[in-house]
Amino acid sequence: MAEKTTILNLTEEEFVHSGNRACTGCGLSIVYRIGLKALGKNSVLVVPPSCLTVLQGLYPVASTKLPCVNVTFASTAAAATGVRSAMMALGKDDVNVVAWAGDGGTSDIGIQALSGACERGDNIIYICYDNEAYMNTGVQRSGTTPQGVLTTTTPIKGKLQVKKDVPAIIAAHGIPYVATASAAFPLDFYDKVKKATTIHGPKYIHVHTPCPPGWGFDTRYTIKVGKLAVETGLFDLYEIENGSFSLSAPSQRLVGKKRPPVSDYFAAQGRFKSLDTDMVNTIQQQVDAKWAA
Amino acid sequence: MHIIESGNVAAATGVKLSRVQVIAAYPITPQTPLTEKLSEFVESEQLTAQYIPVESEHSAMAVCIAASTAGTRAFTATSANGLLYMNEQLHWAVGARLPIVTCVVNRGIGAPWTVWNDQQDSMAQRDVGWIQLYASDHQQIIDSVIKAFRLAQTVSIPVMVCYDGYLLSHTYMPFDLPEQSEVDAFLPPFVPKHFLDPENPGNFNTVTLPDVRPGVDGTMRPGYIEIRHNLHQDLRAALDSYAEIDREFEQRFGRGGSPFVEQYRCDDARFVAVAVGSLSYQLRDVIDTMREDGIAIGVMGVQMYRPFPDQAVASALAGKECVIVFEKALSYGNQGPLYSDIKSTLYRMDDRPIIHNYILGLGGREIKTQQLLDALTESCARPAAIEDTPRWIGLKLQEEHHG
């Protein structure tokens, strides 16, 4: 990778207005601000219904300074293909075409269009911000909600099924770049988005975005909770570049080290309170086995 | 230059002549030869365009929506369940006021599966806000596609060009191929006022409140209902735009003059049969036969269904004794959609014609000219009352379904 971005050389130009409609402590608003800095002015955004629709504001006021088309829920990646096709037809090949969708919009209703765009090799960047439920509609379970999580549609027992591994599904398409990131490590995310702008073909970045109201933690703990997800070994940061896997620094430095127990992460949030000790132990064993491999 | 080709190739050639920039399509019978031809045009570099072989019709329209928002001329085509799968996107395309053109190769809808022709697919989309044109032969298909692009970008409303599956899509007819230079003069490039432009960023289709709201500069901007009202008004105004476009097309290409309804032997007619698409041409034979028997009857083909050309329909049917509407579509639980619309148009007349409704040809049931003759003979002999339950032609019901 090129030189790592630091807080000292991060661009000062902003593409998201302050005072937008995101909730206090929103993990998405961190990565959106940082991600647009990495993309720069010569970019077009494609956004389906999601928290980002809310963040962007209500007509006729918008909080995003980049051109953006809001599209139907299932069509994000196909719409990005449409923008790319138009840019090619108009001879504006240097424009970054960026789909930016939530986890429900990606792992559930939008996965067919995303799979189609990946299979076709369309030259787009697709960013999935994963707050692990349908937060915009009031915390319903999604394909990426982890096992055991209480949502408004898994209100008593918690979600029975495991989290869908979307980056692995997308990587199975053989696209040139897949990465995971976290709102708790914004500069790592910045560098990944920046790298994506230099690669031709489909690029997929899956970014973990803690959500205070949906996950049940105080708004000041967004970064802390996000870091715990990575440091406990539950959410791994990595890149798959042309099929070659590498752990990113925040996860790489856990190798061979003692990690905090996953129970620290669960205890920091209200959404895991239906997990019993057996379940926590089972998850700890799964994480340990994954890291032992 | 005249060529003999299929209806689907007529449509594809119209798209090529219109210099479309982005094509997205998903295969569905009987639309497939149209998109195959377009992919051939693109791969052989006879047409400079992006061809996106999408994974669904929903995505086909997504590509068109986004490409059109970005300022390019976009096209797709589909049939039957493919059109229904696009339904959400059809609403989106018109709400976003995008000049997309879509060919609908009319086919019946499942369940049960049918691949054969009727017009339920596009008729079921009559309320989405798209302009709907219907072609009755191959010449009208190619001409309508070219006119559709001009109309769409004139009024910023998408247009469906509909034609009968198999009966037109897969049959071969001679038609005149317009000169590219003439089409270029008729159809200027698409240059939108607002588009996805990093130099002049805008946010398209954002959440819009129920009420009006000031922008950052203090000027009041419309709420949702104003935006939708304006769409309706613009659709009504599209009638005049299309009449003007048709006049210009006729001056340049020598064809046209009946943009809304096509009348055949209607001037002195007491009775008028009405149909959409190729059926209106099949009815001409029947009308000729009945004329030989001294019955004063004509046929009216409806060429534009949305916006509904009520004035053209009213003036065509004023003073007639009986209007007989033949439909390959049905508003289930009510009556044929065209029948309802024509009846509503006749309501304002003091001396309203009697009106009858026949449902026929659903799922490709063969429409025999003799059946049309029998139905018209019956209606002309006894034009007594308006009927609210449509009559069916050619049903072969099992015993237990009678009565």
Mean pLDDT in residue range B233-241: 98
**What is the pLDDT confidence band of residue B402, given thresholds at 50, 70 and 90?**
low
Question: What's residue B384's pLDDT?
Answer: 78
For A223-248, write each residue's pLDDT tens digit: 999 999 999 999 999 999 999 999 99
Residue B322 pLDDT > 90? yes
Domain assignment present for residue B173? The answer is yes
Length of chain B measured in residues: 403
On whether both B159 and B292 belong to a single domain, the answer is: no
Residue B403 pLDDT > 60? no
Give yes or no for a contact between A136 and A102, defined as CB atoms under 8 angstroms apart.
Answer: yes
For B284-309, write each residue's pLDDT tens digit: 999 999 999 999 999 999 999 999 99
Residue B244 pLDDT > 80? yes
Contact A78 B62 (CB under 8 A): yes
Question: What's residue B270's pLDDT?
Answer: 97
For B173-228, write each residue's pLDDT tens digit: 999 999 999 999 999 999 999 999 999 999 999 999 999 999 989 999 999 999 99
Residue B152 pLDDT > 60? yes
* Domain-ending residue, one of B155, B186, B217: B186
Residues of B in contact with A74 (CB under 8 A): 58, 88
Number of domains in chain B: 2
Rounded CA-CA distance B51/A81 in Å is 11
The residue with tokens 């209607």 is B266
Q: What is the CATH number of the domain that holds B314?
A: 3.40.50.920
Residue B103 CA from chain centroid, whole number: 8
Mean pLDDT in residue range B22-26: 98
Amino acid at B262: E
Residues of A in contact with B21 (CB under 8 A): 86, 89-90
Question: What's residue A262's pLDDT?
Answer: 98
On whether both B17 and B112 belong to a single domain, the answer is: yes
- pLDDT by 10s per residue, chain A, length 293: 467 899 999 999 999 998 889 999 999 999 999 999 999 999 999 999 999 999 999 999 999 999 999 999 999 999 999 999 999 999 999 999 999 999 999 999 999 999 999 999 999 999 999 999 999 999 999 999 999 999 999 999 999 999 999 999 999 999 999 999 999 999 999 999 999 999 999 999 999 999 999 999 999 999 999 999 999 999 999 999 999 999 999 999 999 999 999 999 999 999 999 999 999 999 999 999 999 98
Contact B221 A60 (CB under 8 A): yes
Residue B347 pLDDT > 90? yes
Element (H, E) at A228: helix A222-231
- Which of A54, A72, A95 has the CB atom closest to B88's CB atom? A72
Element (H, E) at A280: helix A277-292
- Which of B49, B50, B204 has the CB atom closest to A69's CB atom? B204
Rounded CA-CA distance B275/B328 in Å is 9
Q: What is the CATH number of the domain that holds B56?
A: 3.40.50.970
Domain range holding B304? 261-395
Residue B382 pLDDT > 90? no
Contact A44 B70 (CB under 8 A): yes
Domain assignment present for residue B299? The answer is yes
Domain assignment present for residue B113? The answer is yes
The residue with tokens 């064809």 is B255
Q: What percent of chain B has pLDDT over 90?
A: 96
Contact A69 B56 (CB under 8 A): no
* Domain-ending residue, one of B139, B155, B186: B186
The strand ranges marked E within chain A are 43-47, 68-70, 96-102, 125-130, 177-182, 203-208, 238-241, 244-247
Structurally, at CATH architecture level, domain A27-292 sits in 3-Layer(aba) Sandwich (3.40)
Rounded CA-CA distance A232/A229 in Å is 6
Contact B221 A59 (CB under 8 A): yes
Rounded CA-CA distance A169/A143 in Å is 12
For B60-112, write each residue's pLDDT tens digit: 999 999 999 999 999 999 999 999 999 999 999 999 999 999 999 999 999 99
SS (H, E, C) chain B: CEEEEEHHHHHHHHHHHCCCCEEECCCCCCCHHHHHHHHHHHHCCCCCCEEECCCCHHHHHHHHHHHHHCCCCEEEEECHHHHHHCHHHHHHHHHCCCCCEEEEEECCCCCCCCCCCCCHHHHCCCCCCCEEEECCCHHHHHHHHHHHHHHHHHHCCCEEEEEECCCCCCCEEEEECCCHHHHHHHCCCCCCCCCCCCCCCCEECCECCCCCEECCCCCEECCHHHHHHHHHHHHHHHHHHHHHHHHHHHHHHCCCCCCCEEEECCCCCCEEEEECCHHHHHHHHHHHHHHHCCCCEEEEEECEEECCCHHHHHHHHCCCCEEEEEECCCCCCCCCHHHHHHHHHHCCCCCCCEEEEEECCHHHCCCCHHHHHHHHHHHHHCCCCCCCCCEECCCCCCHHHCC
The residue with tokens 């009213």 is B314
Residue B245 pLDDT > 60? yes
Contact A90 B72 (CB under 8 A): yes
- Which of B65, B208, B213 has the CB atom closest to A79's CB atom? B65
On whether both B274 and B391 belong to a single domain, the answer is: yes
* Domain-ending residue, one of B128, B158, B186: B186
